[in-house]
Amino acid sequence: MKQIERRSDCPISLSLDIFGDKWTLLILRDFIFFNNRHFNELVTVEKISTNILADRLNRLLENDIVKKEVDRNNKSSYLYSLTEKGIDLIPIVIEIYKWGANNIDGNNANSEFKNEVNSNFNKVTSEIVDRIKTTHNNGNRCTSL
């Protein structure tokens, strides 16, 4: 794993070095909420450039937050999946969604989902974690590299 130069030993600072930039959080959002798991699906969202996407995916791979596997449905394509460390980030991403949906005017939050997150955060988070564990780790769509 490539070592990131530490600015401090603060757990928040160290975490932000790995997943704290805009593009990485949007990639995680797409894994979690939209099941976008192929490079070409991720590049179209928010118009991220391919070099930035490749860099952020590599950082997530190097830190064992995602894994990269050959897609069984298309042997020339790779499928990215959240690992257990990546799944541990789901509540954080949902909290960021919740904060933005509740505190930034003019956002496009789905009102039904926003209300569900506000009233049943733990239930919603648990359901998403269960779905991701099933879809990202079932082995039906991918073959390990």
- Convert the pLDDT of each residue in 69-108 to its tens digit: 998 888 889 999 999 999 999 999 999 999 999 999 999 9
pLDDT tens track for 6-44: 778 999 999 999 999 999 999 999 999 999 999 999 987
Which positions ≥6 away from 136 have C-beta within 8 Å? Answer: 31, 37, 81, 82, 87
pLDDT at residue 141, rounded to an integer: 46
Q: Residue 143: which H helix or E strand, with range? A: strand 142-144
Q: What's this model's pTM, rounded to 2 decimal places? A: 0.88
**Would the pLDDT of 49 be above 90?**
yes
Q: Which residues pair with 69 in a beta bridge?
A: 79, 144
Structural domain spans, the chain? 11-137
Dihedrals φ, ψ of 143, to 5°? -125, 130
Question: Selecting from 3.90.1200.10, 3.40.50.720, 2.30.30.240, 1.10.10.10, what CATH number does the domain 11-137 have?
Answer: 1.10.10.10
Nearest to 29 by CA among 103, 116, 102, 101: 101
**Would the pLDDT of 140 be above 70?**
no
pLDDT at residue 3, rounded to an integer: 61
Percent of the chain predicted with pLDDT > 70: 91
